[in-house]
A and B are shown apart, each in its own frame.
Chain A
C-alpha cells in the first residue's frame, strides 16, 4: 500500500487513471475485504471464503474465455446459452456415464464456438451480431433438448460439484488451473501473441501473414468450451439440469469481470489476473449486499457504479 500511495502522489491525472485501470480492481477487492471484516459478522471464516470462491468459480471460468475473445476485439454473447446447452446435454447423455456425457457436451460447445468463429472469421459478421444469433439459438436448442428442469443423481457428477481435495473444492481447483493455463497461453505462447496482434489491428495482422481466421476460430471454440465447463460445474453443484435459468445474464457478468479487470474492449490487451479479480470484486459486492439484506436493486446499482468507474479509468488510457 505504501508503494501505491507513492505512485499516486504526483498530481498527474493520466498516471492516476492508468494506475486505477491497472490496480483499481485489486484496490476494490482489498477495500471490500477490509470493510466486510469490520462490518459483516462471521466474515473471517474459512467456510465463508469457501462459499464465495465456489460461487465465483463458474463466473471466473466463463470470464477467462470472454477475456480471450475481447482480446481479439470481439465479444461473445452466447456464453450463457452454451452453459444452458451444456446443462441439457449433460442430462441427456448421463445415462452412458459421466465421461461420455462430458464428451458430448464438449462436442456441442465446440460446435457453437465453431459457428461463432466461422461467422466472425469467414463470413465477416460483427462478433456482437454473430454471437447474438448463437445466444438466442443456443438457448432455444437447449430447451428443445430438455424442456424443463431435471434432477440428476449420478454420484460422480455430484462429487464433481461438492467434493474436495484436502479441503479445497474441485470447482476452485479447476478454476485456478484454467486461469493459470489461460494466463500462460496469453503471455508465453505464439498463439497468445497472434491473438493480441489481431486485436490490435486485424488488417495489420493479415498483412503480416498471421493465420487470422484460424486463430479467431480457435479463440471462439475455446471460449465456448470454457463456458461449457462452467455450465457442467454449475449443474454438478445444483445436482439438477436447469436449461431455463442456468447462465441467464452470464454474458453480462463475464463482460463486467473482464472490463472491470482492466482489459480494454478495443482489444490487443488481455489482463487475466485482473479478470479473475474483477469477478471476485462483483462476487464480494453481491455477497456484501445480500449479507446485509439490502434490496437486490442495490446490487445492480452498485455494479453499474463499478462498471462506470472502470470505463472511466479505461478512457484515460485510450487517450494516452
Chain B
C-alpha cells in the first residue's frame, strides 16, 4: 500500500493528534499514583518455571510435517515471525501473552513483527495481510473469531507461510490451512474449577456461577466443564444462579451483591475469570462477610487473584497460562526443521490453592 498524496485534512489531523499527545503527556508528567514508591512489578513472563508445558499427546493423535504442509524448510534463527494479537493489551492475559512472544523471540534471535487488531476482526484480517506483505516467513495468530479466515489463509498458502494459531482455534483444516493450534482446554478448566469448588464446599449446598461474556466460546466451555463435573461428582451441589458478569470486575460485584441478597444460603461462587471473582470479593466485603464465609473459585491465575487466596478470600484459582512464547516458537522450530508436530497442542495448566499460593505467586501473571 502506497500513499503518496496527502489529503487536505492531513494537517488538521496531525494537529489534533499532537494536541491529544500533549494532553496525555502533561497529564502524566506530574502524575503520582499510589504505586510510584514501590518497585515495579516483576516482568510478567520472565517468572521462573511459569512457562507453558504441553500435555503429552495421546498415541495416534494427528501430526503435521513440513512436507505434508507444502512449505520450505528454513532456519528459525534469522527468520521473520509475524504475530497478530486479537485484543488490545489492556488485561493481564493479553499483556502476558504478547510479552511472552516478544521475550522468546528476543531469546532466540528471531525478528518479530507484531500487530494488534484492537478487537476488530476486519482489522485483524488486514493486520495479517500486512504482516505477510512485510515479509513474515512464519505466522503466529491469536484469532479474535474462529470464522472468516479464508482470505488470509489463501494469501498465506500462496506464499507458503506456515501459521500457528494460539488461544483460539480457527475453523479450517489443520496441516493444510494452518499447522497447529496451541491452547488451554477450557472445558477441562471448568472441570477442575468444579473439583476446587467441591473440595471447598464439601460437595453440598448452593453455588452461583458468574458467566463470562455471552456468545463467547470460553464462557460456554468453562460452564460446560463445571456443570458436567458437578453433576458427575457432587450431585448435592446445586447451581442456583447463572448470571453474566461480562468478564468485568464491576459487573461481577453488582451481580454478586444481588445474588447473595436473594439467596442467603449460597455457599460458593464460581467466577469464569479472575476479574469477576475479585468483584465478588468486593461484594462480600461490602456485605460484611468474612473471608471464607462464601467460597470463591476463579479461572485465569492473575497475581491479584492468587493474592486473594493468600488473603483467604478466594479458595482456588485454575490457571489459564498466557505465556505462549516458548511453546509457539518450539513448535515452529521443530516444524521448520522438518520434524512432525502435533496438530492440537493442549497446554497443561496449573492450579493455585491455599497450599501453594504463597510460594507460587511469582508464577502468576
Which residues in A have some Cβ–Cβ distance to B below 8 Å? 40-43, 45, 47-48, 51, 55, 89, 91-96, 108, 137, 140-141, 143-145, 147-154, 162, 234, 237-240, 242, 244-246, 248, 287, 290-291, 293, 296-297
Contact = CB atoms under 8 A, between A and B. Distances in A.
B333 interface: no
B90 interface: yes
B195 interface: no
Contact of A145 (B28, B89, B248): B28
30 contacts: A40-B262, A41-B262, A41-B263, A43-B262, A47-B261, A48-B262, A51-B257, A91-B33, A92-B27, A92-B28, A93-B33, A94-B32, A95-B36, A147-B90, A148-B89, A148-B91, A149-B91, A150-B35, A151-B304, A237-B286, A238-B250, A242-B249, A248-B248, A291-B262, A293-B240, A293-B241, A293-B242, A296-B243, A296-B244, A297-B214
A246 B214 contact: no
B11 interface: no
A78 B35 CA distance: 29
Interface in B75-120: 88-92, 95
B92 A92 contact: no
B264 interface: yes
B251 interface: yes
Given A40-B262, A141-B20, 5 more contacts: A94-B33, A143-B88, A148-B92, A237-B286, A297-B214
A140 B264 CA distance: 40
Contacts of B90: 143, 147-148, 244
B255 interface: yes
Contacts of B35: 150
A151 B34 CA distance: 9
B243 A290 contact: yes
Contacts of A41: 262-263
Given A162-B286, A245-B246, A293-B242, A96 B32 contact: yes
B282 interface: yes
Nearest to A158: B285
B31 interface: yes
Nearest to A161: B286
A137 B95 contact: no
Contacts of B253: 237-238
A239 B243 contact: no
A200 to B, nearest CB: 35
A228 to B, nearest CB: 15
A147 B258 contact: no
B143 interface: no
Q: Which 4 A-B pairs have the closest CB atoms?
A: A95-B32, A291-B262, A245-B248, A92-B31
Contacts of A96: 32
Interface in B233-282: 240-244, 246, 248-251, 253-255, 257-259, 261-264, 275, 278-279, 282
Contact of A287 (B214, B241, B258): B258
A239 B313 CA distance: 16
B314 to A, nearest CB: 14
Most buried by B among A41, A153, A296: A296
B257 A55 contact: yes
Task: Name the residue among B240, B282, B285 with the largest chain A CB count within 10 angstroms.
Answer: B282
Nearest to B37: A95
A93 B254 CA distance: 26
Interface residues of B, number: 46
Interface string B26-54: 01100111111000000000000000000
A140 B90 CA distance: 12
Nearest to B16: A137
Contacts of A147: 89-90
Contacts of B264: 42
Contact of A42 (B23, B261, B282): B261
Which of B28, B89, B258, B263 is most buried by chain A, counting CB atoms within 10 A of its CB? B258
A79 to B, nearest CB: 16
B24 interface: yes
Given A162-B286, A290-B258, A245 B251 contact: yes
Interface string B3-35: 000000000000000001001100110011111
A108 B285 CA distance: 31
Nearest to B253: A238
A48 B263 CA distance: 11
A45 B248 CA distance: 28
A244 B90 CA distance: 7
Contacts of B28: 92, 145
A234 B88 CA distance: 24
B20 to A, nearest CB: 7
A51 B261 contact: yes
A92 B279 contact: no
Contacts of B240: 293
Interface string B126-166: 00000000000000000000000000000000000000000
Contacts of A51: 257-258, 261
A165 to B, nearest CB: 16
Contacts of A92: 27-28, 31-33
B335 to A, nearest CB: 34
A152 B250 contact: no
A239 B282 contact: yes
A245 B249 contact: yes
A137 B13 CA distance: 13
Contact of B250 (A95, A154, A245, A297): A245
A237 B34 CA distance: 17
B251 A291 contact: no
B348 to A, nearest CB: 27
